[in-house]
Every structure is written in C-alpha cells, then in structure tokens.
Amino acid sequence: MGNILHIDSSPRGDRSNSRKLAKEFIAAWQEQHPDDVISYRDLRQTPVPHVTEDWIVACFTPPEALTSEMTELLKFSDELVDEFLAADRCVFSVPMYNFSIPSNFKGYIDQVIRVGRTFTEEDGQVKGLANGKKVLFITSRGVEYGAGSPYEGWDCQEPALRYAFQFMGVTDIEFIHANGLDMGDEVRKRALDKAQSEIQELVNSW
C-alpha cells in the first residue's frame, strides 16, 4: 500500500486545466491501486504564508533551543514537511504564471525546504533527506516553449521545480506539460490530448 500526496496550486477552481489533469491522473491511479492512501491539499483553500525574518531564525535554531513562540511559527511548516516526507509519491499540479510558478507554490517550497528536515549540511556539502520518493509535476502553459518558439528559453518553471526538489534529495522527477493552451482551439485540444495520453502511460509505468 502506497501513500500519495496530491497538491493543487492553481488559484482557479473548475476552470483550472492543471487541476483537471491531476484529478484525471489520481482517478486513473486509484483504479489500478485501490489500496493506496491519497492525502490531498488545496493551496487555494489553505494558503501558505510567506516566510518572515522570525520564521527564518526559528528554522535555523536547534530543536532543543526552540522557544514556544518559535515552535508555533514552525507549526504549519512542520505539518507540510511531515506530509511530504510521509509520501512515497507526490503529484503536484502547477500552472505556469509569468514564466514560472504561482506564488503560493513558491511559498510551499520555501516552507518544506528545511534544514535538518529535508536537507542537511555535511562537511560543507548539502545532502538531501527526502530520498526514495517519486515526484510528478502536471503543468498548464499558455504558449509553447520548445525549440523554434518565440519563447524558447523563457521557461523558468521546470528548472525551478526540478532544482528545488533535487536539492531535497528527490531524483525521480517527472513532468507532464500541457503547452499552448491559449493558442487556439486546435492547439489546445492537441495539447490536452497529449497530456492525457502521457498521464495514462505514466499511470501504467510509474
């Protein structure tokens, strides 16, 4: 029995393409793995606070030296980290906003990259602690970013996500991109069909 963490980050509700695609993935996965436990979090409903100077101080304070105020500051972060570390697989739906990721998912990343929890430093080298899990990002994008596109090289989304989770020790990272959703009905349909096909392939092999 596996433990799947599913997080949606789009501010949109039913209009969100990334949410719809992630929902399709989870439904297809559950058909094949009915005993797996799905933990779900919607960042639209439970916004993630930005870090503050006091939070940073608490974050880098040894556990035995934490005050009650510091412990309270880290409470939500600890909840997110515990949830992340408990999962065997993570499915994150993340739309592209202005060539990168929504601020709420950046806030999530800032809350889960925690010294002593998801990474540590040994002899001046960073070592990730979130090893052995699989992470899937399902994204939605308004335009194309591949070779020959006017926006080639503008994709700051996939590198940011990949490096943040690699920093925490995750090496098995997959992306399913729905590209060009604002480029007309034909391109949109082709992009969604491709993403749905990739979803089914990954469900069968992940």
Give pLDDT tens digits for 95-112: 999 999 999 999 999 999
Residue 124 pLDDT more than 90? no
What CATH number does residue 120 fall under? 3.40.50.360
Please report which confidence band the pLDDT of residue 175 belongs to, taking 50, 70 and 90 as the band edges.
very high
Q: Give the predicted TM-score (pTM) of the model.
A: 0.95
* Tens-place pLDDT, residues 4-27: 999 999 999 889 999 999 999 999
By residue count, the chain amounts to 206
Q: Which residue has the higher pLDDT, 124 or 168?
A: 168
What share of the chain in percent tops pLDDT 90?
A: 94
pLDDT value, residue 1: 85
Give the domain extent around 28. Answer: 3-205
Residue 161 pLDDT more than 90? yes
CB pairs under 8 A, 24+ apart, for 147-156?
151/99, 154/99, 155/96, 155/99, 156/99, 156/100
**DSSP per position, 15-66:** T-HHHHHHHHHHHHHHHH-TT-EEEEEETTTSPPPPP-HHHHHHHTS-GGG-
Distance (Å, rounded) from C-alpha 16 to C-alpha 197? 19
Count of domains observed in the chain: 1
Average pLDDT over the chain reads 96
Count of CB atoms within 10 A of residue 17's CB?
22
* Tens-place pLDDT, residues 56-93: 999 999 999 999 999 999 999 999 999 999 999 999 99
pLDDT value, residue 178: 97
pLDDT value, residue 62: 94
